[in-house]
């Protein structure tokens, strides 16, 4: 059993030489630390020609973006690697390939994805990837169906629920999504001009009950092995491909959480583009984000239904009409969770470049206001929006 130590670049190269699985590991000579997320160290391991060949990722014993004052379990590296390995079984085309894990060092080795770009960065730059929403819908349908009671033997499903208990990472989500934005909390972060709007969230009894209901579902509904943090910064894209990464929040939860997180991040971009792009490009980008939300849901639900018709294992769940009924609930959850993602990324501590990168203070505040108002509308309307077209119509009504 290895003793945990935080890797230097030299350690990462040495480790990659041992565990990359490459035919000629001695070609690996240099490491670049490229982690720009909130939590971990990420090293690109380069060969003698300076080409990145493999990735070494290590969890730190604290939240990287905050520092040692916020300690965090190292077991998240195991949970991340095992979630990705599980998802890779069911969607190898859309999941990063983890090839090695050492849980005691909190280190994993995975395929290099240098030809891919982070979807959020591309969206912020005004670039669209027409295939991405369909591929994300396909990924989510494949992994969520295949890890659920529709597909697994009940003994295996229960063993998986236990294996993927992710107490500390879930607690972060429980606090940041469902608590902080609706109370006065030092982690919250928004401009003073928005105080009246944020205060009105705290005082909105109907909203607070709807958020409580969503949190309760997040706490209790072990429907499938979720990615747990599938925002556009956890998705790599090329013109033809898409891969999910960064699954340290993976656990058994409600399917609508993953769909809602993805939809919420498309809507954060929708809210931010007027501050990032020229008016004509912004209008085009907005139409694209709404079309992507429709495609994401259509692909997910079509693929989920096809799979349920062909391979539902449980005789009761296989009864005609049940999968459709279940998907209605997933849809309703997804809209609600989407609303909570919009609010926690604007009122809470963890903001996104789609809005933070807006240089003009007034414009940025207007975009934040729009996202908060949209989030509240969606949380409250979630049970009354029957399909993706109606959702888009409702989004367009919120100015
Ligand atoms: C303290 S971690 C803050 C956020 O970063 C991660 O990417 C998750 O989205 C988490 O909520
Ligand atoms: Mg992440």
ipTM of the complex: 0.98
- The two structure tokens encoding residue 286: 């907005």
Nearest Cα neighbor of 226 from 206, 197, 254 is 254
How many Å lie between the centroid of ligand 1 and the Cα of residue 338? 15
141 and 85 within one domain: no
173 and 139 within one domain: yes
Count the neighbouring beta carbons within 10 Å of the beta carbon of residue 92: 12
- pLDDT tens-digit readout, 256-276: 999 999 999 999 999 999 999
198: β partners: none
Strands (E), the chain: 28-33, 40-47, 52-59, 62-63, 67-71, 98-102, 107-111, 117-118, 224-226, 235-237, 242-244, 251-253
**CATH number (domain holding residue 147):** 3.90.1200.10
- Please identify, among 73, 89, 111, the residue that sits at the C-terminal boundary of a domain: 111
Q: Domain containing 269: what range?
A: 117-397
Count the neighbouring beta carbons within 10 Å of the beta carbon of residue 292: 24
pTM for the model stands at 0.98
Q: Which atom of ligand 1 is nearest to the CA of 177?
A: 11
Q: Indicate if the pLDDT at residue 64 is higher than 70.
A: yes
319 and 184 within one domain: yes
DSSP string, 142-172: HHHHHTSTTTS-HHHHHHHHHHT--HHHHHH
| Confidence label for 37 from pLDDT (cuts 50, 70 and 90) | confident
Q: Whose CA is nearest to atom 7 of ligand 1?
A: 38
Q: Whose CA is nearest to atom 4 of ligand 1?
A: 350
The pLDDT assigned to 38 comes to 87
144 and 53 within one domain: no
7 close to 56: Cβ distance less than 8 angstroms: yes
Q: Whose CA is nearest to atom 6 of ligand 1?
A: 38
Measured from CB, residues less than 6 Å from any atom of ligand 1 are: 37-38, 63, 172-173, 176, 229, 350
How many Å lie between the centroid of ligand 2 and the Cα of residue 108? 15
Q: Indicate if the pLDDT at residue 2 is higher than 80.
A: no
Q: Indicate if the pLDDT at residue 1 is higher than 80.
A: no
Of the residues 173, 180, 228, 229, which should be mutated to test ligand 1's pocket, given the most ligand atoms within 8 Å of the CB?
Answer: 229
The pLDDT assigned to 386 comes to 97
Q: Whose CA is nearest to atom 3 of ligand 1?
A: 350
Q: Which atom of ligand 1 is nearest to the CA of 38?
A: 5
Q: Indicate if the pLDDT at residue 214 is higher than 70.
A: yes
**Residue 108: CB partners within 8 Å, gap ≥ 6?**
56, 57, 77, 80, 81, 98, 100, 101, 102
194 and 272 within one domain: yes
Look over the chain and give the mean of its residue pLDDT values, rounded to a whole number: 97
Asked if residue 1 belongs to a domain, the reply is no
How many Å lie between the centroid of ligand 2 and the Cα of residue 316? 37
């Amino acid at each position: 059993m290895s003793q945990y130590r935080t890797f230097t670049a030299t350690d990462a190269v040495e480790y990659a030489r041992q565990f990359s699985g490459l035919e000629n590991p001695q070609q690996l000579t240099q490491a670049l630390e490229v982690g720009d997320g909130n939590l971990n160290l990420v090293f690109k391991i380069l060969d003698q020609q300076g080409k990145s060949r493999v990735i070494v990722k290590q969890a730190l014993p604290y939240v990287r973006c905050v520092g040692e004052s916020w300690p965090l379990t190292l077991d998240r590296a195991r949970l991340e690697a095992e979630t990705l390995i599980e998802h890779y079984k069911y969607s190898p085309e859309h999941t990063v390939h983890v090839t090695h894990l050492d849980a005691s060092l909190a280190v994993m080795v995975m395929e290099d994805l240098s030809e891919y770009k982070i979807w959020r960065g591309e969206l912020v730059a005004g670039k669209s990837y027409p295939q991405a929403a369909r591929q994300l819908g396909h990924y989510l349908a494949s992994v969520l169906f295949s890890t659920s009671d529709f597909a697994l033997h009940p003994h295996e499903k229960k063993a998986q629920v236990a294996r993927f208990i992710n107490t500390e990472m879930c607690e972060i989500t429980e606090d940041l999504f469902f608590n902080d934005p609706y109370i006065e909390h030092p982690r919250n972060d928004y401009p003073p001009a928005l105080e009246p709007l944020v205060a009105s969230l705290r005082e909105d009894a109907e909203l607070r009950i709807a958020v409580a209901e969503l949190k309760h579902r997040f706490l209790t509904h072990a429907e499938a092995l979720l990615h747990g943090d599938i925002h556009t910064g956890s998705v790599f894209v090329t013109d033809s491909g898409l891969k999910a990464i960064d699954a340290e929040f993976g656990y058994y939860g409600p399917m609508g959480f993953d769909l809602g997180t993805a939809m919420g991040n498309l809507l954060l971009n929708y809210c931010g583009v007027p501050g990032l792009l020229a008016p004509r490009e912004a209008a085009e980008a907005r139409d694209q984000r709404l079309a992507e939300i429709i495609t994401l849901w259509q692909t997910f639900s079509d693929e989920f239904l096809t799979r349920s018709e062909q391979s539902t294992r449980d005789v009761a769940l296989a009864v005609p009409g049940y999968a459709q009924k279940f998907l209605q609930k997933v849809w309703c959850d997804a809209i609600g969770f989407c609303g909570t993602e919009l609010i926690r990324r604007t009122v809470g501590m963890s903001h996104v470049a789609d809005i933070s990168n807006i240089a003009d203070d007034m414009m940025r505040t207007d975009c934040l206001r729009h996202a908060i108002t949209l989030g509240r509308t969606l949380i409250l309307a979630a049970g009354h929006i029957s399909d993706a077209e109606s959702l888009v119509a409702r989004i367009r009504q919120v100015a």
